[in-house]
Structure 1
Amino acid sequence: MKTMKLGSSNLEVPVVALGCMRLPSLDKQQAERFVQTALEQGANFFEHADIYGAGKAEELFAEAVHMSPSVREKLILQSKCGIVPGVMFDFSKEHILNSVDGILKRLNTDYLDTLLLHRPDTLVEPEEVAEAFDLLESSGKVRHFGVSNQNPMQIQLLKKYVKQPLIANQLQLSITNATMISQGFNVNMENGAAVNRDGSILDFCRLHDITIQPWSPFQYGFFEGVFLGNEKFPELNKKIDEIAAKYEVTNTTIAVAWLLRHPANMQPVIGTMNIERLKDCIQAAEIRLTREEWYAIFLAAGNILP
Protein backbone atom coordinates (compact mmCIF):
# COMPACT_ATOMS: atom_id res chain seq x y z
CA MET A 1 0.00 0.00 0.00
CA LYS A 2 1.06 3.57 -0.56
CA THR A 3 2.51 5.30 2.46
CA MET A 4 2.71 8.83 3.83
CA LYS A 5 4.38 10.74 6.63
CA LEU A 6 2.14 11.10 9.68
CA GLY A 7 1.94 14.81 10.41
CA SER A 8 5.29 16.50 10.92
CA SER A 9 6.95 13.27 12.05
CA ASN A 10 9.18 10.91 10.12
CA LEU A 11 6.80 8.04 10.86
CA GLU A 12 5.97 6.37 7.54
CA VAL A 13 2.44 4.95 7.63
CA PRO A 14 -0.04 3.39 5.18
CA VAL A 15 -2.53 5.88 3.75
CA VAL A 16 -5.36 3.78 5.18
CA ALA A 17 -5.51 2.95 8.90
CA LEU A 18 -7.42 0.00 10.32
CA GLY A 19 -9.71 0.81 13.24
CA CYS A 20 -10.12 -2.04 15.70
CA MET A 21 -13.26 -0.92 17.54
CA ARG A 22 -15.31 -3.82 16.15
CA LEU A 23 -12.62 -6.48 16.57
CA PRO A 24 -14.43 -8.06 19.57
CA SER A 25 -17.26 -8.97 17.18
CA LEU A 26 -14.91 -11.65 15.77
CA ASP A 27 -13.77 -14.84 17.44
CA LYS A 28 -10.05 -15.46 17.84
CA GLN A 29 -9.71 -17.44 14.60
CA GLN A 30 -11.57 -14.81 12.59
CA ALA A 31 -9.49 -12.07 14.19
CA GLU A 32 -6.27 -13.90 13.30
CA ARG A 33 -7.37 -14.20 9.69
CA PHE A 34 -8.40 -10.55 9.51
CA VAL A 35 -5.14 -9.24 10.96
CA GLN A 36 -3.03 -11.53 8.79
CA THR A 37 -4.90 -10.47 5.64
CA ALA A 38 -4.37 -6.83 6.54
CA LEU A 39 -0.63 -7.36 6.98
CA GLU A 40 -0.41 -9.24 3.67
CA GLN A 41 -2.05 -6.20 2.02
CA GLY A 42 0.48 -3.82 3.56
CA ALA A 43 -2.02 -2.43 6.06
CA ASN A 44 0.07 -2.50 9.23
CA PHE A 45 -1.36 0.60 10.96
CA PHE A 46 -3.82 -0.54 13.63
CA GLU A 47 -5.89 2.05 15.50
CA HIS A 48 -7.26 1.37 18.99
CA ALA A 49 -8.78 3.11 22.02
CA ASP A 50 -8.78 1.97 25.61
CA ILE A 51 -12.61 1.97 25.67
CA TYR A 52 -13.12 -0.25 22.60
CA GLY A 53 -14.84 -3.34 23.93
CA ALA A 54 -13.86 -2.15 27.42
CA GLY A 55 -10.28 -3.07 26.53
CA LYS A 56 -11.14 -6.39 24.89
CA ALA A 57 -10.29 -5.06 21.41
CA GLU A 58 -6.67 -4.50 22.41
CA GLU A 59 -6.41 -7.85 24.18
CA LEU A 60 -7.88 -9.75 21.23
CA PHE A 61 -5.61 -7.93 18.81
CA ALA A 62 -2.50 -8.94 20.75
CA GLU A 63 -3.66 -12.54 20.71
CA ALA A 64 -4.65 -12.46 17.05
CA VAL A 65 -1.34 -11.03 15.87
CA HIS A 66 0.65 -13.34 18.20
CA MET A 67 2.49 -10.38 19.63
CA SER A 68 6.23 -10.78 20.07
CA PRO A 69 9.23 -8.46 19.61
CA SER A 70 9.70 -9.61 16.02
CA VAL A 71 6.00 -9.12 15.23
CA ARG A 72 5.92 -5.74 16.99
CA GLU A 73 8.62 -4.40 14.65
CA LYS A 74 6.24 -4.89 11.71
CA LEU A 75 3.34 -2.99 13.28
CA ILE A 76 2.36 0.64 13.77
CA LEU A 77 0.09 0.89 16.80
CA GLN A 78 -2.03 3.85 17.79
CA SER A 79 -4.42 4.08 20.71
CA LYS A 80 -6.53 6.74 22.41
CA CYS A 81 -7.40 7.60 25.99
CA GLY A 82 -9.33 10.21 27.94
CA ILE A 83 -12.89 8.86 28.05
CA VAL A 84 -14.44 7.37 31.18
CA PRO A 85 -17.57 5.94 29.52
CA GLY A 86 -20.82 7.43 30.76
CA VAL A 87 -19.02 9.40 33.47
CA MET A 88 -16.62 12.04 32.17
CA PHE A 89 -13.68 12.94 29.98
CA ASP A 90 -10.36 12.94 31.79
CA PHE A 91 -7.09 14.49 30.58
CA SER A 92 -5.48 14.49 34.02
CA LYS A 93 -1.87 13.41 34.27
CA GLU A 94 -2.80 10.44 36.44
CA HIS A 95 -5.49 9.22 34.07
CA ILE A 96 -3.31 9.51 30.96
CA LEU A 97 -0.41 7.64 32.58
CA ASN A 98 -2.62 4.90 34.02
CA SER A 99 -4.47 4.54 30.71
CA VAL A 100 -1.26 4.07 28.74
CA ASP A 101 -0.02 1.42 31.17
CA GLY A 102 -3.29 -0.45 30.70
CA ILE A 103 -3.13 -0.11 26.92
CA LEU A 104 0.43 -1.43 26.78
CA LYS A 105 -0.44 -4.37 29.00
CA ARG A 106 -3.44 -5.33 26.88
CA LEU A 107 -1.52 -4.96 23.62
CA ASN A 108 1.42 -6.89 25.11
CA THR A 109 3.91 -4.30 23.94
CA ASP A 110 6.39 -1.88 25.49
CA TYR A 111 5.41 1.17 23.44
CA LEU A 112 2.82 2.89 21.29
CA ASP A 113 3.78 4.57 18.06
CA THR A 114 1.07 7.17 18.60
CA LEU A 115 -1.20 8.18 21.48
CA LEU A 116 -4.23 10.41 20.87
CA LEU A 117 -6.35 12.24 23.44
CA HIS A 118 -9.81 10.93 22.63
CA ARG A 119 -12.45 13.62 23.36
CA PRO A 120 -11.84 17.20 24.59
CA ASP A 121 -11.92 17.52 28.37
CA THR A 122 -13.20 20.98 29.35
CA LEU A 123 -11.49 20.59 32.73
CA VAL A 124 -8.15 19.96 31.07
CA GLU A 125 -5.10 21.47 32.71
CA PRO A 126 -2.65 21.50 29.80
CA GLU A 127 0.32 21.65 32.15
CA GLU A 128 -0.68 18.17 33.37
CA VAL A 129 -0.97 16.87 29.83
CA ALA A 130 2.52 18.23 29.12
CA GLU A 131 3.91 16.47 32.20
CA ALA A 132 2.27 13.20 31.20
CA PHE A 133 3.56 13.42 27.62
CA ASP A 134 7.10 14.17 28.85
CA LEU A 135 7.06 11.11 31.12
CA LEU A 136 5.62 8.87 28.41
CA GLU A 137 8.19 10.05 25.88
CA SER A 138 11.20 9.85 28.21
CA SER A 139 10.22 6.36 29.35
CA GLY A 140 9.85 5.19 25.76
CA LYS A 141 6.21 4.22 26.26
CA VAL A 142 4.89 6.59 23.56
CA ARG A 143 6.81 7.86 20.54
CA HIS A 144 4.33 10.33 19.02
CA PHE A 145 1.28 12.24 20.18
CA GLY A 146 -1.92 13.66 18.77
CA VAL A 147 -5.55 14.49 19.50
CA SER A 148 -9.01 13.45 18.43
CA ASN A 149 -12.15 15.50 17.85
CA GLN A 150 -10.46 18.80 18.71
CA ASN A 151 -10.88 22.26 17.20
CA PRO A 152 -8.04 24.71 16.49
CA MET A 153 -8.20 26.62 19.77
CA GLN A 154 -8.22 23.43 21.83
CA ILE A 155 -5.13 22.29 19.96
CA GLN A 156 -3.47 25.68 20.35
CA LEU A 157 -4.06 25.59 24.09
CA LEU A 158 -2.31 22.23 24.33
CA LYS A 159 0.52 23.36 22.06
CA LYS A 160 1.22 26.27 24.43
CA TYR A 161 2.43 23.75 27.02
CA VAL A 162 3.12 20.46 25.21
CA LYS A 163 6.56 20.40 23.60
CA GLN A 164 5.95 17.34 21.44
CA PRO A 165 4.44 17.91 17.99
CA LEU A 166 0.75 16.96 17.77
CA ILE A 167 0.85 14.97 14.54
CA ALA A 168 -2.73 13.73 14.12
CA ASN A 169 -6.31 14.82 14.73
CA GLN A 170 -9.02 12.21 14.35
CA LEU A 171 -12.26 13.79 13.12
CA GLN A 172 -15.58 12.56 11.79
CA LEU A 173 -15.54 13.04 8.03
CA SER A 174 -17.26 11.36 5.11
CA ILE A 175 -18.92 12.37 1.87
CA THR A 176 -22.16 13.03 3.78
CA ASN A 177 -20.48 14.51 6.89
CA ALA A 178 -18.29 17.08 5.21
CA THR A 179 -19.06 20.36 6.93
CA MET A 180 -15.36 21.07 7.43
CA ILE A 181 -15.11 21.08 3.63
CA SER A 182 -18.42 22.70 2.65
CA GLN A 183 -17.95 25.64 5.02
CA GLY A 184 -14.83 26.60 3.11
CA PHE A 185 -16.88 27.01 -0.08
CA ASN A 186 -19.50 29.22 1.53
CA VAL A 187 -17.48 31.89 3.33
CA ASN A 188 -19.58 35.03 3.94
CA MET A 189 -22.66 33.46 2.34
CA GLU A 190 -26.16 33.72 3.83
CA ASN A 191 -26.90 30.01 3.99
CA GLY A 192 -26.57 27.17 6.48
CA ALA A 193 -23.47 25.83 4.78
CA ALA A 194 -21.61 29.02 5.71
CA VAL A 195 -21.81 28.23 9.44
CA ASN A 196 -18.30 27.59 10.73
CA ARG A 197 -18.84 24.79 13.22
CA ASP A 198 -15.25 23.75 13.81
CA GLY A 199 -13.03 26.82 13.57
CA SER A 200 -11.70 25.95 10.10
CA ILE A 201 -10.09 22.79 11.43
CA LEU A 202 -9.29 21.49 7.93
CA ASP A 203 -7.14 24.48 7.03
CA PHE A 204 -5.67 24.64 10.54
CA CYS A 205 -4.44 21.05 10.35
CA ARG A 206 -2.94 21.64 6.92
CA LEU A 207 -1.16 24.77 8.13
CA HIS A 208 0.30 22.99 11.15
CA ASP A 209 1.21 19.66 9.50
CA ILE A 210 -1.37 17.70 11.49
CA THR A 211 -2.73 14.66 9.67
CA ILE A 212 -6.52 14.42 9.73
CA GLN A 213 -7.66 10.84 10.34
CA PRO A 214 -11.30 10.66 9.18
CA TRP A 215 -13.38 8.29 11.29
CA SER A 216 -16.66 6.71 10.18
CA PRO A 217 -15.88 7.38 6.49
CA PHE A 218 -19.05 5.53 5.39
CA GLN A 219 -21.46 6.90 8.01
CA TYR A 220 -24.04 9.64 7.75
CA GLY A 221 -25.14 11.55 10.82
CA PHE A 222 -23.75 10.34 14.13
CA PHE A 223 -23.75 6.56 13.64
CA GLU A 224 -27.12 6.64 11.90
CA GLY A 225 -26.00 4.18 9.23
CA VAL A 226 -23.95 3.93 6.05
CA PHE A 227 -24.77 5.98 2.97
CA LEU A 228 -23.56 3.37 0.47
CA GLY A 229 -26.53 1.51 -1.00
CA ASN A 230 -28.89 3.56 1.17
CA GLU A 231 -32.17 4.63 -0.43
CA LYS A 232 -31.92 7.95 1.44
CA PHE A 233 -29.08 8.94 -0.90
CA PRO A 234 -30.17 7.94 -4.42
CA GLU A 235 -28.25 10.59 -6.37
CA LEU A 236 -25.07 10.03 -4.38
CA ASN A 237 -25.15 6.27 -4.87
CA LYS A 238 -25.93 6.66 -8.55
CA LYS A 239 -22.88 8.89 -9.03
CA ILE A 240 -20.58 6.69 -6.91
CA ASP A 241 -21.71 3.57 -8.77
CA GLU A 242 -21.13 5.29 -12.11
CA ILE A 243 -17.57 6.23 -11.17
CA ALA A 244 -16.94 2.81 -9.62
CA ALA A 245 -17.93 1.17 -12.91
CA LYS A 246 -15.47 3.38 -14.77
CA TYR A 247 -12.57 2.27 -12.56
CA GLU A 248 -13.89 -1.31 -12.27
CA VAL A 249 -13.94 -1.19 -8.49
CA THR A 250 -16.61 -1.23 -5.78
CA ASN A 251 -18.51 1.70 -4.35
CA THR A 252 -16.56 1.19 -1.11
CA THR A 253 -13.31 1.86 -2.96
CA ILE A 254 -14.63 5.09 -4.45
CA ALA A 255 -15.90 6.37 -1.09
CA VAL A 256 -12.40 5.99 0.38
CA ALA A 257 -10.73 7.33 -2.76
CA TRP A 258 -12.84 10.50 -2.39
CA LEU A 259 -11.18 11.19 0.96
CA LEU A 260 -7.71 10.30 -0.29
CA ARG A 261 -8.08 12.68 -3.24
CA HIS A 262 -8.08 15.71 -0.95
CA PRO A 263 -4.64 17.40 -0.88
CA ALA A 264 -4.72 17.52 2.93
CA ASN A 265 -3.22 14.00 2.78
CA MET A 266 -5.74 12.46 5.13
CA GLN A 267 -5.45 8.95 6.57
CA PRO A 268 -8.96 7.42 6.73
CA VAL A 269 -9.62 5.02 9.60
CA ILE A 270 -11.49 2.02 8.26
CA GLY A 271 -13.61 0.10 10.76
CA THR A 272 -14.77 -2.87 8.70
CA MET A 273 -14.12 -6.41 9.92
CA ASN A 274 -15.12 -7.86 6.55
CA ILE A 275 -12.05 -9.05 4.66
CA GLU A 276 -13.42 -8.31 1.18
CA ARG A 277 -14.43 -4.78 2.19
CA LEU A 278 -11.01 -4.38 3.76
CA LYS A 279 -9.43 -5.19 0.40
CA ASP A 280 -11.79 -2.76 -1.32
CA CYS A 281 -10.74 0.01 1.07
CA ILE A 282 -7.05 -0.71 0.53
CA GLN A 283 -7.54 -0.63 -3.25
CA ALA A 284 -8.57 3.02 -2.94
CA ALA A 285 -4.91 3.89 -2.43
CA GLU A 286 -4.32 3.05 -6.09
CA ILE A 287 -7.02 5.36 -7.47
CA ARG A 288 -6.84 9.11 -7.93
CA LEU A 289 -10.18 10.65 -8.77
CA THR A 290 -10.24 13.55 -11.20
CA ARG A 291 -11.22 16.98 -9.95
CA GLU A 292 -14.51 16.67 -11.86
CA GLU A 293 -15.28 13.29 -10.27
CA TRP A 294 -14.51 14.56 -6.76
CA TYR A 295 -16.83 17.55 -7.16
CA ALA A 296 -19.55 15.44 -8.79
CA ILE A 297 -19.62 13.17 -5.74
CA PHE A 298 -19.61 16.14 -3.38
CA LEU A 299 -22.60 17.72 -5.12
CA ALA A 300 -24.47 14.42 -5.45
CA ALA A 301 -24.43 14.17 -1.64
CA GLY A 302 -26.56 17.31 -1.46
CA ASN A 303 -23.73 19.73 -0.82
CA ILE A 304 -23.88 23.09 -2.57
CA LEU A 305 -21.50 25.42 -4.31
CA PRO A 306 -22.30 29.15 -4.08
Structure 2
Amino acid sequence: MSELSVVLEKQSFLEGPRWFGGRVFVSDFYTHRVLSLLPDGSDVRVEASVPAQPSGTGLLPDGRLLIASMRDQRILRREEDGTVAVHAELAGLTMSVLNDMAVDPQGRAWVGCFGFDLMGGAAMQPAVLMRVDPDGTAEIVAEDMLFPNGTVADGETVIVAESFGNRMTAFDVAADGSLTNRREWATFGPAPQTTDLGEALGSLAVVPDGIAEPDRDGAIWVADAGNKRAVRVLEGGEITDEISTGDDECFAVALGGEDGRTLFLACAPSFLEHERRHTRDARLLSTRVGVPLAL
Protein backbone atom coordinates (compact mmCIF):
# COMPACT_ATOMS: atom_id res chain seq x y z
CA MET A 1 0.00 0.00 0.00
CA SER A 2 1.72 3.20 -1.16
CA GLU A 3 1.55 6.22 1.08
CA LEU A 4 -0.68 8.85 -0.50
CA SER A 5 -0.56 12.56 0.32
CA VAL A 6 -3.36 15.04 -0.35
CA VAL A 7 -2.11 17.81 -2.63
CA LEU A 8 -5.42 19.52 -3.43
CA GLU A 9 -8.96 18.86 -2.19
CA LYS A 10 -12.52 20.23 -2.25
CA GLN A 11 -12.72 20.35 -6.05
CA SER A 12 -15.52 19.18 -8.37
CA PHE A 13 -13.86 16.73 -10.79
CA LEU A 14 -10.17 16.91 -11.62
CA GLU A 15 -8.75 15.75 -14.93
CA GLY A 16 -5.68 16.05 -17.12
CA PRO A 17 -2.90 16.70 -14.58
CA ARG A 18 0.36 17.80 -16.20
CA TRP A 19 3.80 18.70 -14.89
CA PHE A 20 5.00 21.98 -16.44
CA GLY A 21 7.86 24.15 -15.22
CA GLY A 22 7.91 23.02 -11.62
CA ARG A 23 4.14 23.18 -11.18
CA VAL A 24 1.19 20.79 -11.46
CA PHE A 25 -1.52 21.91 -13.87
CA VAL A 26 -4.96 20.33 -13.57
CA SER A 27 -8.46 21.01 -14.94
CA ASP A 28 -11.49 21.16 -12.66
CA PHE A 29 -14.48 20.36 -14.86
CA TYR A 30 -17.43 21.89 -13.09
CA THR A 31 -15.81 25.01 -11.67
CA HIS A 32 -14.57 25.65 -15.24
CA ARG A 33 -11.01 26.40 -14.18
CA VAL A 34 -7.51 25.31 -15.08
CA LEU A 35 -5.44 25.42 -11.90
CA SER A 36 -1.75 25.20 -11.18
CA LEU A 37 0.03 24.64 -7.88
CA LEU A 38 3.32 23.66 -6.36
CA PRO A 39 3.80 19.94 -5.71
CA ASP A 40 3.17 20.40 -1.97
CA GLY A 41 -0.26 21.91 -2.72
CA SER A 42 0.68 25.52 -2.03
CA ASP A 43 0.42 28.60 -4.24
CA VAL A 44 -2.75 27.56 -6.07
CA ARG A 45 -3.36 29.76 -9.12
CA VAL A 46 -6.23 29.99 -11.59
CA GLU A 47 -4.46 29.77 -14.94
CA ALA A 48 -7.59 30.11 -17.09
CA SER A 49 -11.37 30.13 -16.88
CA VAL A 50 -13.08 27.90 -19.46
CA PRO A 51 -16.89 28.29 -19.49
CA ALA A 52 -17.38 25.29 -21.82
CA GLN A 53 -15.46 23.01 -19.42
CA PRO A 54 -11.70 22.38 -19.57
CA SER A 55 -10.02 19.03 -20.05
CA GLY A 56 -6.56 18.27 -21.44
CA THR A 57 -3.80 20.86 -21.51
CA GLY A 58 -0.37 21.22 -23.09
CA LEU A 59 2.33 23.75 -23.84
CA LEU A 60 3.33 25.20 -27.18
CA PRO A 61 7.09 25.42 -27.76
CA ASP A 62 7.01 29.11 -26.76
CA GLY A 63 5.37 28.25 -23.42
CA ARG A 64 1.80 29.33 -24.17
CA LEU A 65 -0.85 27.05 -22.70
CA LEU A 66 -3.33 25.12 -24.84
CA ILE A 67 -6.60 23.88 -23.32
CA ALA A 68 -9.24 21.52 -24.68
CA SER A 69 -12.59 23.27 -24.24
CA MET A 70 -14.92 20.31 -24.12
CA ARG A 71 -18.46 21.39 -24.89
CA ASP A 72 -17.82 23.90 -27.68
CA GLN A 73 -15.22 21.73 -29.47
CA ARG A 74 -12.48 24.34 -29.29
CA ILE A 75 -8.81 24.40 -28.43
CA LEU A 76 -8.06 27.54 -26.47
CA ARG A 77 -4.72 29.33 -26.17
CA ARG A 78 -3.66 31.44 -23.21
CA GLU A 79 -1.50 34.31 -24.38
CA GLU A 80 1.49 35.73 -22.52
CA ASP A 81 -0.67 38.53 -21.06
CA GLY A 82 -3.15 36.00 -19.63
CA THR A 83 -5.91 36.53 -22.17
CA VAL A 84 -7.52 33.48 -23.73
CA ALA A 85 -7.98 33.13 -27.48
CA VAL A 86 -9.44 30.46 -29.75
CA HIS A 87 -6.57 28.40 -31.17
CA ALA A 88 -8.67 25.93 -33.19
CA GLU A 89 -12.31 25.20 -33.99
CA LEU A 90 -13.03 21.46 -34.08
CA ALA A 91 -16.82 21.51 -34.44
CA GLY A 92 -16.41 20.81 -38.15
CA LEU A 93 -14.60 17.57 -37.31
CA THR A 94 -16.69 16.35 -34.38
CA MET A 95 -19.81 17.43 -32.54
CA SER A 96 -18.84 15.22 -29.64
CA VAL A 97 -17.44 16.46 -26.33
CA LEU A 98 -13.66 16.86 -26.45
CA ASN A 99 -11.52 14.78 -24.11
CA ASP A 100 -7.89 14.66 -23.01
CA MET A 101 -5.05 16.08 -25.09
CA ALA A 102 -1.27 16.03 -25.51
CA VAL A 103 0.95 18.61 -27.19
CA ASP A 104 4.18 17.36 -28.76
CA PRO A 105 7.53 19.22 -28.98
CA GLN A 106 6.58 20.54 -32.43
CA GLY A 107 3.49 22.22 -30.98
CA ARG A 108 0.99 19.81 -32.50
CA ALA A 109 -1.98 19.02 -30.26
CA TRP A 110 -3.47 15.52 -30.33
CA VAL A 111 -7.00 15.45 -28.92
CA GLY A 112 -9.71 12.81 -28.62
CA CYS A 113 -13.44 13.04 -28.05
CA PHE A 114 -16.21 11.00 -26.43
CA GLY A 115 -17.97 9.82 -29.58
CA PHE A 116 -21.36 9.50 -27.86
CA ASP A 117 -23.39 11.03 -25.04
CA LEU A 118 -21.63 9.41 -22.11
CA MET A 119 -23.48 11.30 -19.39
CA GLY A 120 -26.84 10.76 -21.07
CA GLY A 121 -26.41 6.99 -21.20
CA ALA A 122 -26.38 6.70 -24.99
CA ALA A 123 -25.15 3.62 -26.82
CA MET A 124 -21.38 3.51 -27.23
CA GLN A 125 -20.07 4.71 -30.59
CA PRO A 126 -16.54 4.96 -31.99
CA ALA A 127 -14.78 8.32 -31.86
CA VAL A 128 -12.00 10.13 -33.69
CA LEU A 129 -8.55 11.43 -32.79
CA MET A 130 -7.66 14.86 -34.17
CA ARG A 131 -4.42 16.74 -34.77
CA VAL A 132 -4.23 20.50 -34.37
CA ASP A 133 -1.18 22.11 -35.96
CA PRO A 134 0.56 25.13 -34.41
CA ASP A 135 -1.28 27.48 -36.78
CA GLY A 136 -4.66 26.14 -35.60
CA THR A 137 -5.52 24.05 -38.66
CA ALA A 138 -6.93 20.67 -37.72
CA GLU A 139 -7.83 17.32 -39.20
CA ILE A 140 -8.97 13.86 -38.19
CA VAL A 141 -6.00 11.50 -38.02
CA ALA A 142 -7.58 8.29 -36.66
CA GLU A 143 -11.09 6.85 -36.56
CA ASP A 144 -12.88 3.94 -34.92
CA MET A 145 -11.38 4.58 -31.48
CA LEU A 146 -13.24 3.47 -28.37
CA PHE A 147 -13.28 6.65 -26.25
CA PRO A 148 -9.79 8.08 -26.96
CA ASN A 149 -8.67 9.56 -23.67
CA GLY A 150 -5.25 10.03 -22.04
CA THR A 151 -2.58 10.73 -24.66
CA VAL A 152 1.20 11.15 -24.80
CA ALA A 153 3.13 12.41 -27.82
CA ASP A 154 6.88 12.89 -28.24
CA GLY A 155 6.89 14.05 -31.85
CA GLU A 156 7.60 10.61 -33.29
CA THR A 157 4.96 8.44 -31.58
CA VAL A 158 1.46 9.04 -30.23
CA ILE A 159 0.02 6.69 -27.61
CA VAL A 160 -3.68 6.91 -26.74
CA ALA A 161 -5.65 5.19 -23.98
CA GLU A 162 -8.89 3.80 -25.40
CA SER A 163 -10.90 3.77 -22.20
CA PHE A 164 -13.65 1.45 -23.41
CA GLY A 165 -11.42 -0.65 -25.65
CA ASN A 166 -9.38 -2.54 -23.02
CA ARG A 167 -6.24 -1.22 -24.69
CA MET A 168 -3.73 1.53 -25.40
CA THR A 169 -3.06 2.25 -29.05
CA ALA A 170 0.15 3.62 -30.59
CA PHE A 171 0.88 5.30 -33.91
CA ASP A 172 4.00 6.49 -35.68
CA VAL A 173 3.95 10.13 -36.77
CA ALA A 174 4.89 10.75 -40.39
CA ALA A 175 6.71 13.87 -41.56
CA ASP A 176 3.42 15.48 -42.65
CA GLY A 177 1.76 14.78 -39.27
CA SER A 178 -0.32 11.86 -40.46
CA LEU A 179 -0.40 8.71 -38.35
CA THR A 180 0.87 5.35 -39.55
CA ASN A 181 1.58 1.87 -38.17
CA ARG A 182 -1.46 1.70 -35.90
CA ARG A 183 -0.90 -0.99 -33.28
CA GLU A 184 -1.94 -2.04 -29.80
CA TRP A 185 0.73 -0.73 -27.45
CA ALA A 186 -0.87 -2.52 -24.50
CA THR A 187 -3.75 -4.99 -24.49
CA PHE A 188 -5.58 -5.79 -21.26
CA GLY A 189 -8.21 -8.11 -22.71
CA PRO A 190 -10.62 -8.40 -25.64
CA ALA A 191 -12.45 -5.30 -26.79
CA PRO A 192 -16.13 -5.25 -25.76
CA GLN A 193 -18.58 -6.61 -28.31
CA THR A 194 -21.47 -4.48 -27.09
CA THR A 195 -22.63 -0.88 -27.34
CA ASP A 196 -24.13 -0.99 -23.84
CA LEU A 197 -21.85 1.02 -21.56
CA GLY A 198 -22.71 -0.92 -18.42
CA GLU A 199 -22.02 -4.24 -20.08
CA ALA A 200 -18.81 -2.93 -21.61
CA LEU A 201 -17.49 -1.60 -18.31
CA GLY A 202 -18.17 -4.93 -16.66
CA SER A 203 -15.99 -6.70 -19.23
CA LEU A 204 -12.92 -4.45 -18.97
CA ALA A 205 -9.86 -5.64 -17.07
CA VAL A 206 -8.45 -2.08 -17.10
CA VAL A 207 -10.29 1.14 -17.89
CA PRO A 208 -7.34 3.27 -19.08
CA ASP A 209 -8.25 6.90 -18.51
CA GLY A 210 -5.55 9.56 -18.08
CA ILE A 211 -1.96 8.46 -18.63
CA ALA A 212 1.41 9.89 -17.62
CA GLU A 213 4.44 10.64 -19.75
CA PRO A 214 6.67 7.54 -20.01
CA ASP A 215 9.20 6.91 -17.29
CA ARG A 216 12.91 6.27 -17.81
CA ASP A 217 12.25 2.60 -18.61
CA GLY A 218 9.53 3.37 -21.16
CA ALA A 219 6.68 2.28 -18.87
CA ILE A 220 3.53 4.39 -18.55
CA TRP A 221 1.49 5.01 -15.42
CA VAL A 222 -2.22 4.61 -16.22
CA ALA A 223 -5.28 5.67 -14.25
CA ASP A 224 -7.53 2.59 -14.09
CA ALA A 225 -10.88 4.33 -13.74
CA GLY A 226 -12.83 1.17 -13.06
CA ASN A 227 -10.72 -0.38 -10.34
CA LYS A 228 -9.72 2.43 -7.93
CA ARG A 229 -6.06 2.29 -8.77
CA ALA A 230 -3.20 3.46 -10.94
CA VAL A 231 -1.04 0.87 -12.69
CA ARG A 232 2.41 1.00 -14.28
CA VAL A 233 2.24 -0.64 -17.70
CA LEU A 234 4.95 -1.92 -20.02
CA GLU A 235 4.53 -2.07 -23.77
CA GLY A 236 2.55 -5.25 -24.41
CA GLY A 237 0.31 -4.80 -21.37
CA GLU A 238 2.28 -6.23 -18.43
CA ILE A 239 1.41 -4.45 -15.18
CA THR A 240 4.51 -4.07 -12.99
CA ASP A 241 3.15 -1.91 -10.16
CA GLU A 242 -0.21 -0.96 -8.70
CA ILE A 243 -1.25 1.88 -6.40
CA SER A 244 -4.66 1.68 -4.73
CA THR A 245 -6.59 4.92 -4.34
CA GLY A 246 -8.82 3.56 -1.58
CA ASP A 247 -12.50 4.44 -1.80
CA ASP A 248 -12.07 6.79 -4.77
CA GLU A 249 -11.66 6.03 -8.43
CA CYS A 250 -8.51 7.29 -10.15
CA PHE A 251 -9.24 9.18 -13.37
CA ALA A 252 -5.89 10.69 -14.38
CA VAL A 253 -2.21 10.66 -13.44
CA ALA A 254 0.94 12.67 -14.12
CA LEU A 255 4.57 11.93 -13.36
CA GLY A 256 6.71 14.86 -12.23
CA GLY A 257 8.26 16.54 -9.22
CA GLU A 258 11.79 17.91 -8.98
CA ASP A 259 13.35 14.47 -9.42
CA GLY A 260 10.61 13.04 -11.64
CA ARG A 261 9.56 10.48 -9.03
CA THR A 262 6.29 12.01 -7.85
CA LEU A 263 3.09 10.53 -9.24
CA PHE A 264 0.06 12.81 -9.07
CA LEU A 265 -3.37 11.14 -9.10
CA ALA A 266 -6.70 12.84 -9.83
CA CYS A 267 -9.39 11.04 -7.82
CA ALA A 268 -13.11 11.28 -7.12
CA PRO A 269 -15.90 8.94 -5.95
CA SER A 270 -17.36 8.65 -9.49
CA PHE A 271 -17.35 10.28 -12.92
CA LEU A 272 -21.05 10.92 -13.47
CA GLU A 273 -21.81 14.59 -14.01
CA HIS A 274 -24.99 14.68 -11.93
CA GLU A 275 -23.02 13.29 -8.98
CA ARG A 276 -20.01 15.56 -9.34
CA ARG A 277 -21.27 18.91 -10.61
CA HIS A 278 -22.51 20.16 -7.24
CA THR A 279 -20.05 18.33 -5.00
CA ARG A 280 -16.56 19.28 -3.91
CA ASP A 281 -15.00 15.98 -2.95
CA ALA A 282 -12.52 15.48 -5.80
CA ARG A 283 -8.86 15.41 -4.77
CA LEU A 284 -5.40 15.47 -6.25
CA LEU A 285 -3.17 13.00 -4.45
CA SER A 286 0.53 12.22 -4.77
CA THR A 287 2.91 9.39 -3.99
CA ARG A 288 6.53 8.49 -4.65
CA VAL A 289 7.52 5.95 -7.30
CA GLY A 290 10.74 4.12 -8.03
CA VAL A 291 11.43 4.97 -11.68
CA PRO A 292 11.59 8.66 -12.63
CA LEU A 293 10.09 10.49 -15.54
CA ALA A 294 12.12 10.14 -18.73
CA LEU A 295 14.09 13.30 -19.52
TM-score when normalising by structure 2: 0.30
Answer 1 or 2: which has greater helix percent: 1
